[in-house]
Chain A
Amino acid sequence: MSLLQIDQLSVRFGATMALDSLSLAIAAGETLALVGESGSGKSTAALAIAGLLSHQATVTGTIRFDGQALTDWRGVRQGGIAMVFQDAMSALNPVHRIGAQVVEALRLPRAEQRVAAARFLDQVGLPQPERLVDAYPHELSGGMRQRVGIAIAVAQNPRLLIADEPTTALDVTIQAQILALLRDLKARLGLSLLLVTHDLGVVAETADRVAVLYAGCLMELAPAAALFTSPHHPYTQGLLEARPPFGTQAPMLAELVEIPGQLPRLDPPPAGCRFAARCDRADQRCRAEQPVLRPIADTLVACHHA
Chain B
Amino acid sequence: MKPGQLGQVVRRRLAHAVPVLLVVALATFGLLKLAPGDAVDVLIATGGGGDAALAADLRRAYGLDQPWPAQLAHYLWRLVQLDLGYSFVHNRPVSHLIWERLPVSLLLMASATAFAVGFGIVLGVSAGQTPGGWRDRLILSVGLVLYAMPSFWVGLMLILIFAVKLALFPVGGFETAASDLTGIARVLDIAWHAVLPTVALALLFVSVYLRLMRAGVVEVASADFVRTARAKGVGATRILWAHVARNALLPVVAMVGVQAATLLGGAVVIESVFSLPGLGRLAYDSVLARDLVVLLGLLLTSAVIVIAINTVVDLVVAALDPRVVAR
Q: List the interface of chain A (C-beta within 8 A of B).
A: 50, 52, 76, 78, 82-83, 85, 87, 90-96, 101, 104-105, 136, 138-139, 149, 152-153, 155-156
Contact = CB atoms under 8 A, between A and B. Distances in A.
B contact patch SS: helix
B228 A156 contact: no
B146 to A, nearest CB: 29
A52 B227 contact: yes
A115 to B, nearest CB: 19
16 contacts: A52-B230, A78-B233, A83-B231, A85-B227, A90-B223, A91-B225, A91-B228, A92-B225, A94-B225, A94-B321, A105-B232, A105-B233, A152-B232, A153-B231, A156-B232, A156-B233
B228 A149 contact: yes
Given A76-B233, A104-B234, A138-B322, 11 more contacts: A50-B231, A52-B230, A76-B230, A85-B227, A93-B247, A94-B321, A136-B323, A138-B323, A149-B228, A152-B232, A153-B231
A156 B234 CA distance: 11
Nearest to A54: B222
Interface in B93-140: none
Nearest to A90: B224
A105 B250 CA distance: 24
A52 B228 CA distance: 9
A76 to B, nearest CB: 4
Interface of B: 223-225, 227-234, 242-243, 246-247, 250, 320-323, 326
Contacts of A96: 242-243
Nearest to A83: B231
A91 B224 CA distance: 5
Contact of B246 (A92, A95, A155): A95
Interface centre among B233, B243, B247, B250 (most CB of A within 10 A): B233
A155 to B, nearest CB: 8
Contacts of A94: 225, 247, 321-323
Nearest to B228: A91
Nearest to B250: A95
B244 to A, nearest CB: 10
Contacts of A90: 223-225
Nearest to A93: B225
B224 A138 contact: no
A275 B242 CA distance: 46
Contacts of B224: 85, 87, 90-91
Interface centre among A52, A92, A94, A152 (most CB of B within 10 A): A94
Given A104-B234, A136-B322, A138-B326, A93 B227 contact: no
Interface centre among B223, B231, B321, B322 (most CB of A within 10 A): B231
B234 A105 contact: yes
A138 B327 CA distance: 11
A149 B234 CA distance: 15
A95 B321 contact: yes
Contacts of B246: 93, 95
Contacts of B232: 104-105, 152, 155-156
B323 A85 contact: no
Contacts of B242: 96
Given A91-B225, A93-B225, A95-B247, A52 B322 contact: no
B224 to A, nearest CB: 4
By Cβ-Cβ distance, the 5 closest A-B pairs, closest first, are: A90-B224, A105-B232, A136-B322, A76-B233, A93-B225
Interface centre among B228, B242, B320 (most CB of A within 10 A): B228
B187 to A, nearest CB: 35
Nearest to B220: A93
A104 B227 contact: no
Nearest to B247: A95
Given A136-B322, A136-B323, A138-B322, A92 B228 contact: yes
Contacts of B320: 95
Contacts of A149: 228
A302 B230 CA distance: 35
A1 B219 CA distance: 43
A152 B322 CA distance: 21
A85 B225 CA distance: 10
A95 B317 CA distance: 11
